[in-house]
Structure 1
Amino acid sequence: MTTSSPRYARITGTGSYLPPKRLSNAQLAEELAKSGVETSDEWIVERTGIRARHFADSDVASSDLALHASRAALEAAGIDATQIDLIIVATSTPDMVFPSTACLLQHKLGAPGGAAFDVQAVCSGFVYALTIADSMIRTGAASKALVIGAETFSRILDFKDRTTCVLFGDGAGAVVLEASDTPGILACELHADGRHADILCVPGNVSGGQILGDPLLKMDGQAVFKLAVGVLESVARSVLAKAGKTDADIDWLIPHQANIRIMQSTARKLKLSMDKVVVTVAEHGNTSAASIPLALDHAVKTGQIKKGDTLMLEGVGGGFTWGAVLVDY
């Protein structure tokens, strides 16, 4: 009797894209002042670590950003879009109610036939999507997957609320995940707690051609911070335990890029120097589901991350959702 060898999923290519329009804190403050909203570069940097963000033009959709990032990831992996048999897009800002942004992206890539769908877990979305793709590859349901985080959060910001509108930006990041006989995705874990839905939400929807509720982002920053720090440490330790690893085995922590203080606190709890944390929040702002793959691609392209490094990817977002993935890159 013979048994088949284990099937794993490995990241073979990364890509990212930021829309050309870059707004520094000073530029954003100048724009907000026209509407009577006061803020400053110093105020934003002190509280968040953010210095700039990118906004997409009004005629650019999340699928357009995803297309650029996907092409870069495919090129890095050395494969053609027609070889992809699974596309998962993590987004909270889809192009339309339906079809999914993933289906629209699939068409733009010219790669019909494989499964394509969106995942909605807000800032944890990429971790959720990567976990799903890993499971599908391990079970043989897919062999080559595109996993993308793509957001146009500028469309859902209340520019009269300085506590939220200064935080977010637009962008997309992507990875190619392929079946392998050697481990790549080492362990994953996902969680959610809907009791905290109201601390970060966009409480609006479309009915009868009208917007019901409020279609702009609402956040209780202190509540989010308190929850985030606790769950990010616990889920990271749980994933390490699943993989038989310890804090010392992490070469790079790639957290959701929401706030430098949350990242610093998480690093301290995991006994990691900030030299081991990939930080892009200063230039990107919070790009929600796009933030982890954007940071990952940045670190790969700049040579921070090298083949064989062990990466801890973790995110927390509205829902309330959170999760982590340990990766042998």
Structure 2
Amino acid sequence: MSPVNEKIAKALSELGISLPEPPARVVHAPKSKKTEKSSSESTTSQTEQTEQGDKPIHVSLIMPVEPTDYVEPDWAQFLFNVWDDMDDTPGVMVDGPRGTGKTQAVMVYAARRNKPLLVCNCNQEMTPDSLLGSPRIDMKGVGGDYLQMGPIALAAKLGAVLFMDEVNYLPPATQAVNNPLMDTVQNGIFLPYTGERIEWENPKIVAAFNSGYAGTREINQAFFDRFEPLVAEYLPLRQEATLIVNRTGCEYQLAERAVRTANAIRAAAKGDNGNVMPLEFDLSPRALFSFARRVVSGKQDINRAWKEAVIGRVGSGIRRSGARETVRQLSIQIGNFQV
């Protein structure tokens, strides 16, 4: 077992979780002191639901592996090349639409440093205690009262990189409670309910959000100011086209045609092409991978593949009809897709 996995196993053992051999790539935050089984499949995910009716906290612990075809985006240069030299800057805030590689960049960052990655999917009902930890009453009378550790305390316990995704779903009060914590995190995490102080060597916290989505809030400025800001953008045309070729085996000309069209749709989504109303639609590279794989399979022609893989992602219903028509017209004008 590697030193990193030994550290994880020891920390989890203290929390009442046994780590199987070989160690699982994904384990989940503890809900009680009694022993739980860890999943051995890296693709599974679970939620933790408290007895007191809180909305589930979705956390996953991953030992990430860098993809062999990973393309380092320009926007992430600070993350990979500068951040480690800034000891007084534990946090980075990444703003960008879906598909710009925010999650993958953080996974590669952790993988290159041989650190586990703890992913927390934020939601609208998380309280300050949800992030740090709070006492819970064992309603079933099995293991007595216990402390349910939040993702911040758990990341400190494991020496993990913490990734807080969709952080703009957090209520303002929950965002604000992080302000003093971010100022003192290098000195460790204090758990007020137990009096325990957890040392967190070289803490690294990445928060990510997508601006303007339904249900999200403005980021508290005092909270935002405690992070280094990064704006995630899509790869340049040639790099994204090459990535599509490497992932799917399609012809480069087809990949470039797809990316040119996608960039026009992305510009319309931001209102950059003079649209009165932005599309509220992000065209992720995942849609382009799907399009190219359909064509490469030989079971769909180019036009049908584009219609289903790309236009089909806009959504249905009257409310989406305008966006769907804009995407269709751009597909015809820019990509010459007969849709």
Q: What TM-score do the two structures reach when normalised by structure 2? A: 0.23
Larger strand proportion of the pair = 1
Higher relative contact order (Cα pairs below 8 Å, separated by 6+ residues): 1
